[in-house]
Amino acid sequence: MKDVKLATRLYVEDDLGQEPVLGLSPEQAHFLRSVLRLKPGAQLALFNGRDGEWLARVEALGKGWASLSVESQSRPQEDEPELSVCFAPVKRARIDWIVEKATELGCTRLQPVLTRRTVVDRVNVQRLRTAVREAAEQCERLGLPQVEEPVKLEQLLQDWPADHPFLFADESGGGQPIAEILQQRPARALLTGPEGGFDPQEHAMIARHPAACPVGLGPRILRADTAVIAALSVMQALGGDWAEAPAFRNLQPR
């Protein structure tokens, strides 16, 4: 059978592979019917972050409801290497952007960190989890990053294991270039600061932690959200799955 490349990919909460027919939430049904304008018989891919990816067809659509016929697994679930990002929350549009791009880059854990200069007084974790799901749908990812509840910087450092290195984006200029550090001491976690950076006491507290690896991100001043994505890209290129051969997948019914 000819390879099929599916444009529609949907995250679902249900277990996949156990039931031949799956019902969708009213919001997802509306998306398929009124936004994508799919018709019965249309094929799409489903995933839930646990059971791999499955091919399905629209069996029936109505106003606020839809049923899908689950046909076969197209990709098994894959283990993903740890890649944690601890970041100070920024204003709404930019925190959404951080979460979206970190998901695309393969992050497995997103930890908002409250610092003394953090200007955001509330983090809508549920909205961030929605952004994660939408980004995973788009980038053909099977797993979902875990979005944690916000913690204060002091608590994060107190709980962080001494034998689990993390890169600390040091805006003061005291860190070695990030590429040099990664070649010397591999790390799969990152800590970045707020707009305006960490205050001096926080900076000293982080630097004292035995797991902290201060790194520089180049000669220019980066926005807080840009720093996250720049550092993640280098981490993936030098020690992550960017170093692997790309796998261009065609989804094929079995």
pLDDT tens per residue, range 187-226: 999 999 999 899 999 999 999 999 999 999 998 989 999 9
Give this prediction's pTM. 0.88
Question: Looking at residue 6, what is its pLDDT?
Answer: 62
What residue ranges of the chain are covered by domains with CATH 3.40.1280.10? 84-243
Please state, in angstroms and rounded to a whole number, the distance separating the CA atoms of residues 131 and 103: 9
> pLDDT of 21-71, one tens digit each?
889 988 989 889 888 889 999 999 999 999 999 999 999 988 889 999 999
Rounded to an integer, what distance in angstroms lies between the CA atom of residue 226 and that of residue 174?
19
pLDDT recorded at residue 74 = 93
Instruction: Give CATH for domain 84-243.
Output: 3.40.1280.10
CATH 2.40.240.20 maps onto the chain at 9-75
Query: For the structural domain made of 9-75, what CATH number should be given?
Result: 2.40.240.20
The pLDDT score that the predictor gives to residue 241 is 85
pLDDT of residue 185: 85
Rg value, the chain, Cα: 21
> To the nearest whole percent, how much of the chain has pLDDT over 70?
93
The pLDDT of residue 5 is above 70: no
Bridge-based pairing state of the strands 151-152 and 146-147: unpaired
In three-state form (DSSP H/G/I as H, E/B as E, the rest C), the secondary structure along 141-190 is CCCCCEECCCEEHHHHHHHCCCCCCEEEECCCCCCEEHHHHHHHCCCCEE
Give the alpha-carbon dihedral of 131, 168, 196, 89, to 10 degrees.
20
